[in-house]
Chain A
Amino acid sequence: MIEFKNLHKKFGKLVVLDGLDLNISKGGIFAILGPNGSGKTTLIKCLLGMVIPNKGEIIFDKKSVLRQWAYRNNLNYLPQIANFPPNLTVLEIINMVKNLRPKDSNSEELIELFGLKTSLDKKLGNLSGGTKQKVNIVLTFMFDSDLIVLDEPTNGLDPIALIHLKSIIQKEKEKGKTILITTHIMSFVDEVADEIVFLLDGKIYFKGTVDALKKQMNNDNLEHAIANLIAKQYA
């Protein structure tokens, strides 16, 4: 479904992606992991068209995405930091995003689920961080797209919202969606992810199921398994 071919990206002198190759098949939840500065966010942003690679190719649904924009209609993205125009209301921002995408949506259901009904007429500037993140989640999941990209989705969520989020992710998976997640919360990965893509120094260092990683590292705890992975690299 998604194919990254020989992807290079430098920011100034700093090499972030160094000839990265990655294939992601359709369906399933993929956790993109790696230490800080390993290129996770850059990789996702390349896919979204926000960062333009120096070299290489990205294929989504059999088409190149570089310098294109229409493909993003089949892609939902949850950004890491939710910051909205402070003077618009929740309802307005939801309507605006709907307006921008010529697609059906199920926003009511999600608004209900996250208890945002009472906040609909509030200005976004007056919302707490957690509530903003909920709005952010509604905006992401209200469309029916084949690919969903989540950048640190658990930020600032209360436990109930977190449970709701997990159930939504599972539901989408069942519908056969492809879901990419970056996170630092290993328990979350352990719980939801089917496969792990581990990035180090701008390259794919490991790609496989969670179990495969645990087995390879001889460690039943994912967190430790990952730590071992990194330690091995620098040993």
Chain B
Amino acid sequence: MLKILKYSFYDLMRSRWSYVYFLFYLILGFVLLFLNNDVDKAVITLMNIIIVLTPLIGTIFGVMYYYNSKEFTELLLAQPINRSKIFMGQYLGISISLTLSLVLGLGIPFVLYGLFKSTAIFNFSLLLVVGAFLNFIFVALSYNIALSTENKIKGFGYAILMWLFLAVIYDGIFLTFLVVFNSYPLDKFSLAATMFNPIDLSRILILLKLDISALLGYTGAVFRKFFGTNLGMMISMGVLMLWVMLPVLRMNLKLRKKDF
């Protein structure tokens, strides 16, 4: 698996898109910090970008890599290697190279700016951790979609639709539901609904640091416990890990029956 990972990783690290992605974050980091001079604000803007863009890029890279390397994967499948190792290798290769682009692209400007002296270091690290999680989750989800869809165009379509759904539509339905049923106690429901969407979950994780003063304005006891203690942080992290593990598990199950 490590060998496959290594070559997928090399391949991606040399791809033009990895550089574009890396440069995008690099420029973004510099622009936010040096034109703005406010680390807090930079972190907020970055959060907005990371929770929307990282999933999109992860999704696109995932399906693109799968379909583009289909024939090569067939060559690998004829080699004496376990199937699931081939795909896990590719999956980790993509996720790690994307995460590296993110961490280096944003990390360099922040380090140059003097982040280590700033109090925002924790918020910033959390942002990178969440970004990494989103990469791993959305590459896994898109691989699942690609594995289940033979047709490349359809696969792309489904993947983008999934992203659109989780990034925008889900919240729209969620908010509508909250507004329509606002005479009922909704705190448990809204926490649960958050857990079912990795983008919302990542957002909450960052909000716990950035907007805790607002979140503590809630009256519900469940909320108070969730936001007011470390419980929220721990549960969110745990569920994010589940969000990585379940698609990976499904990928492996699918692979057992999959014909190439």
A70-101 interface code vs B (CB 8 A; 1 in, 0 out): 11110101010111111110001000110111
Whether A234 is near chain B, meaning CB under 8 Å from some CB there, is no
Between A67, A69, A75, A85, the greatest number of chain B beta carbons within 10 A of the residue's beta carbon is seen for: A85
Chain A nearest CB from B11 CB (Å) reads 4
Which residues of B sit under 8 angstroms from A92, Cβ to Cβ? 7, 10
Nearest to B69 among chain A residues (CB) is A85
| Tally of A-B Cβ pairs under 8 angstroms | 83
Which residues of B sit under 8 angstroms from A224, Cβ to Cβ? none
Nearest to B11 among chain A residues (CB) is A85
Whether B14 is near chain A, meaning CB under 8 Å from some CB there, is yes
Which residues of A sit under 8 angstroms from B260, Cβ to Cβ? 45, 50-51
Nearest to A71 among chain B residues (CB) is B80
Which residues of A sit under 8 angstroms from B7, Cβ to Cβ? 85, 88, 92, 96
Chain B nearest CB from A117 CB (Å) reads 22
**Complex CA–CA separation, A86 to B68 (angstroms):** 9
**Complex CA–CA separation, A149 to B77 (angstroms):** 13
**Complex CA–CA separation, A128 to B204 (angstroms):** 50
**Complex CA–CA separation, A101 to B75 (angstroms):** 13
Contact of A81 among B11, B12, B71 (CB under 8 A): B71
**Complex CA–CA separation, A64 to B12 (angstroms):** 37
Number of interface residues of A (CB under 8 A): 33
- The answer to whether B80 touches A101, judged by C-beta atoms less than 8 angstroms apart, is yes
**Complex CA–CA separation, A45 to B83 (angstroms):** 14
Chain B nearest CB from A33 CB (Å) reads 21
Which residues of A sit under 8 angstroms from B258, Cβ to Cβ? 52
B233-248 interface code vs A (CB 8 A; 1 in, 0 out): 0000000000000000
Between A52, A67, A73, the greatest number of chain B beta carbons within 10 A of the residue's beta carbon is seen for: A52
Whether B180 is near chain A, meaning CB under 8 Å from some CB there, is no
Whether B35 is near chain A, meaning CB under 8 Å from some CB there, is no
Contact of B78 among A79, A83, A99 (CB under 8 A): A79
Which residues of B sit under 8 angstroms from A50, Cβ to Cβ? 74, 77-78, 259-260
B217-237 interface code vs A (CB 8 A; 1 in, 0 out): 000000000000000000000
- The answer to whether B3 touches A69, judged by C-beta atoms less than 8 angstroms apart, is no
Nearest to A95 among chain B residues (CB) is B7
Chain A nearest CB from B95 CB (Å) reads 17
Whether A139 is near chain B, meaning CB under 8 Å from some CB there, is yes
- The answer to whether B77 touches A49, judged by C-beta atoms less than 8 angstroms apart, is yes
Chain B stretch 76-102: residues in CB contact (< 8 A) with chain A: 76-83
Which residues of A sit under 8 angstroms from B77, Cβ to Cβ? 48-50
**Complex CA–CA separation, A134 to B162 (angstroms):** 40
- The answer to whether A101 touches B79, judged by C-beta atoms less than 8 angstroms apart, is yes
B1-28 interface code vs A (CB 8 A; 1 in, 0 out): 0011001101110110000000000000
Chain A nearest CB from B256 CB (Å) reads 8
- The answer to whether A97 touches B79, judged by C-beta atoms less than 8 angstroms apart, is yes
Which residues of A sit under 8 angstroms from B68, Cβ to Cβ? 86
Whether B70 is near chain A, meaning CB under 8 Å from some CB there, is yes
Nearest to B10 among chain A residues (CB) is A88
With A45-B260, A87-B10, A88-B11 known as contacts, the answer to whether A72 contacts B72 (CB < 8 A) is no
**Complex CA–CA separation, A32 to B258 (angstroms):** 24
Chain A nearest CB from B61 CB (Å) reads 14
- The answer to whether A73 touches B80, judged by C-beta atoms less than 8 angstroms apart, is yes
Which residues of B sit under 8 angstroms from A67, Cβ to Cβ? 256
Chain B nearest CB from A80 CB (Å) reads 8
- The answer to whether A69 touches B80, judged by C-beta atoms less than 8 angstroms apart, is yes
- The answer to whether B79 touches A52, judged by C-beta atoms less than 8 angstroms apart, is no
A37-77 interface code vs B (CB 8 A; 1 in, 0 out): 00000000100111110000000000000010111110101
Contact of A52 among B3, B15, B76, B259 (CB under 8 A): B259
- The answer to whether B10 touches A79, judged by C-beta atoms less than 8 angstroms apart, is no
Chain B stretch 47-74: residues in CB contact (< 8 A) with chain A: 68-72, 74
Whether B257 is near chain A, meaning CB under 8 Å from some CB there, is yes
Which residues of B sit under 8 angstroms from A72, Cβ to Cβ? 78-81
Q: Beyond the given A52-B257, A75-B78, please list 8 additional residue pairs across the A-B interface where CB-CB is below 8 A.
A: A45-B259, A50-B260, A81-B71, A82-B71, A85-B72, A86-B68, A87-B10, A100-B79
- B binding-site residues for A, Cβ under 8 Å: 3-4, 7-8, 10-12, 14-15, 68-72, 74-83, 256-260
What are 7 A-B interface contacts by the 8 Å CB criterion? A72-B79, A82-B71, A88-B7, A88-B11, A92-B10, A97-B75, A99-B3
Pairs of residues from A and B, 7 with the lowest C-beta to C-beta distance, nearest first:
A83-B71, A77-B78, A73-B80, A87-B14, A85-B11, A72-B80, A51-B259
